[in-house]
Amino acid sequence: MSQTFLKSVNSNINFPTEEESILKFWREINVFEQQLALSKDRPRYTFYDGPPFATGMPHYGHILAGTIKDVVTRYATANGFYVERRFGWDCHGLPVEYEIDKTNNILGPADVEKMGIDVYNAKCRSIVMRYASEWEKIVERMGRWIDFKNDYKTMYPWFMESIWWVFKQIYEKGMVYRGFKVMPFSSACHTPLSNFEAGQNYKEVVDPAIIVTFPLETDPDISLIAWTTTPWTLPSNLAVCVHPDFCYVKVRDIKRGKTYIMMEDRLCILFKKEEDYEIIEKFQGQKLFGLRYIPLFKYFEKLRSDNPNKGAFRVLTDTYVTSSEGTGVVHQAPGFGEDDYRICLANQVFLKDEGVVCPVDESGLFTLEITEYAGVYVKDADKKIIKQLNTEGRLIQNSSVKHNYPFCWRSETPLLYKAVPSWFIRVQDIIPKLLENNRNSYWVPEFVQERRFHNWLESSRDWAISRNRYWGTPMPIWTNADFSEVVCVGSIQELEELSGAKVTDLHRENIDHIEIPSKRGGPNLKRISEVLDCWFESGSMPYAQAHYPFDKRKQFDTIFPADFIAEGIDQTRGWFYTLLVISTILFGKAPFKNLVVNGIVRASNGQKMSKKLKNYPDPMLIVDKFGSDALRLYLVTSPCVRGEDMKFREEGVRDIIKDVFLPWFNAYRFLVQTLLWRDEVCLFVCWCAYLFVF
């Protein structure tokens, strides 16, 4: 053991500096590329990397998931497998468009049309990879081996072409339909969201909670009373609904001197003491069916009908009404509630071909139909509507309620539930197969698979895959005006053959003008304006990253399904879900064999990490201070790896240095010094023997 080697073990080691020197050495010898080349002919272990957006910087959640991915793929390589590790980028969708809308003061579709879709999409393209170089630097600094040179981007034409192929396969299986449904709608982004997107970002808010009257036409002195937390939907009221089997009462309000009809079990919402009211009559809700009432507003009087089984402003019945909240009388605004829409359509409050009453535009503003509030944002109208109802004597209680409410995951604005036409995938038809495929995969931890994901799959709804946006993969559907002739295109070549046009890029500005001749001799078919949900793109990445089926068709079985994927627990309603839905429809099986789910890294006070609040330290400052190995080890030994949330503490990273790295390093130094001391003793003995002999 040489003296030179001993000097290389500095007692005052700086771990971040040592890591930098190792990274430099790795770069000099192209260590990752060499490792891939040396294992090229070994059995393949397939890994899919979920694509992030490069419009923001990596956070601790990315670092944790990236570390788990790095550990597993390195382990697989060490066990004799070839592991291709391609980095991917999400390029389309709301995260990019929202940034452009903010910086260019775009308030709605009219502003985009005025600017021009080509200019708008060019602006989107310009910021897609805004932080790509920073991502590469951070990922490399964390010591992760991943291939950035052979990456995939969802905006590549070849990637988008595979998306078209995937969509056409699903379409031809009869799994795609166009429908009119009440959906979570982002007024800031002017587009509907899928239910799993709406489920990603609930916040606790305080909303108004009011009780209003609906006097009976036959006896205005008797009123049905309904409770609502969305006063802005009351101008669109077309009916009220009661439970057919529950007990309702006609009750005398002694203090107010009024007579109301409500559910017996819900008397507590209006009366604190039994002496405050007198029950006049009891009956089942079914007895109320068909009664007519005086509407709150007169905007939609035209929907009233003399036919007792048709028209608006009637009492309807349905078992979705509960006895756990409200008054047991639910106001129905079919343009803003899924059950409202279903019940009113079934009872012919409106006819499907006439369209549902939905007087709110894509920006969440009342339309001209609501004359008194036209142009007012619906949430801002709550107080004004409450004041008007109070003035007119229709308000009997005004309070507030604290509850969880969905917010747009991108704009952080409250979602509205709004009736919009959209394209859907029939997910509900395949729920049993989804559950079976979920059981056939292996998850760590198991409880996420068996409970959280299983429960989500069980309650799956049809997936709204269309978006009224611009920067995305256009839906490959060409149709005539009444949708009686529809053509679904599955490739660039197919579009060129059908239209005679030359196609080099699939974004809207390059194909919206292309028309396909009608086979029936009618007008040319035009492409619908919608683009695909960006989650559809990421869910199709197992095929699109390989440009399947246009390339690598023979090798596809060696890369599908993945042996391993890993992401955060929030992806149970995101990437994990969309991967499974698309794979189940296309191939009847799960797209992954093994899956690791990590929990959420939160700020030290338990709150969600927020750049605005600055409630967490910059990851690179932690790395510069303690080193990436300490941060990696801190994260992968945390409760997050068990699927639980954790509170990030800088002291925890420091303790890894103090409790793990320094004891290890001191033991290493002791070993080196011991070996050197042994060599020096041996040298002394040999020298003495030499002197004795000679």
Q: Is 612 a catalytic residue?
A: no
| Residue 452 phi, psi dihedral angles, 5° rounding | -55, -55
Which residue is catalytic, options 332, 388, 545, 571? 571
Residue closest to 288 by CA, chosen among 331, 245, 259: 245
Cα angle 209, 211, 216 (rounded to 5 degrees) comes to: 155
Which residue is catalytic, options 384, 526, 608, 647? 608
Q: Is 51 a catalytic residue?
A: yes
Say which residues have a Cβ less than 8 Å from residue 354's Cβ, sequence separation at least 6: none
Strand ranges of the sheet holding 594-598, from the earlier edge strand across to the other edge: 442-444, 594-598, 565-568
Contact 318, 264 (CB under 8 A): no
Which residue is catalytic, options 203, 298, 611, 614? 611
Contact 606, 34 (CB under 8 A): no
DSSP-derived secondary structure for 203-256: EEEEEEEEEEEEEBSS-TTEEEEEEES-GGGGGG--EEEE-SSSEEEEEEETTT
* DSSP one-letter code for 528: -
Which residue is catalytic, options 192, 443, 575, 629? 575
Give strand pairing partners of 330.
241
Contact 420, 185 (CB under 8 A): yes
Measured torsion, CA atoms of residues 555, 561, 563, 564, in degrees rounded to the nearest 10: 120
Which residue is catalytic, options 90, 101, 318, 340? 90
Q: Is 535 a catalytic residue?
A: yes
Q: Is 523 a catalytic residue?
A: no
d(CA 418, CA 567): 31
d(CA 301, CA 298): 5
Is the Cα dihedral 548, 549, 553, 557 positive or negative? positive
d(CA 563, CA 572): 18
Looking at residue 89, its amino acid is: W
Q: Identify the three-state secondary structure at position 47.
A: strand
Give strand pairing partners of 395.
212
Query: How many helices (DSSP H) and strands (DSSP E) are in the chain?
Result: 25, 26
Is the Cα dihedral 373, 379, 380, 385 positive or negative? positive
Which tokens sit at 563?
């042996």
| Residue 223 phi, psi dihedral angles, 5° rounding | -125, 135
Say which residues have a Cβ less than 8 Å from residue 388's Cβ, sequence separation at least 6: 372
* DSSP one-letter code for 377: B
For the purposes of burial, counting CB atoms within 10 Å of the CB of 150, is it exposed (0-12), middle (13-18) or buried (19 or more)?
A: exposed
Distance set, CA 154 to CA 89, 472, 496, 546 (Å): 6, 9, 22, 12
Residue closest to 591 by CA, chosen among 40, 43, 50, 157: 50
d(CA 113, CA 127): 20
- Distance from the first to the final alpha carbon of the chain: 27
Q: At what angle do helices 628-636 and 619-626 cross, to 10 degrees?
A: 110
Which residue is catalytic, options 295, 535, 545, 619? 535
What is the C-alpha radius of gyration for the chain, rounded to an integer number of angstroms? 32
Residue closest to 454 by CA, chosen among 539, 537, 576: 576
Q: Is 664 a catalytic residue?
A: no
Catalytic residues: 51, 90, 535, 571, 575, 608, 611
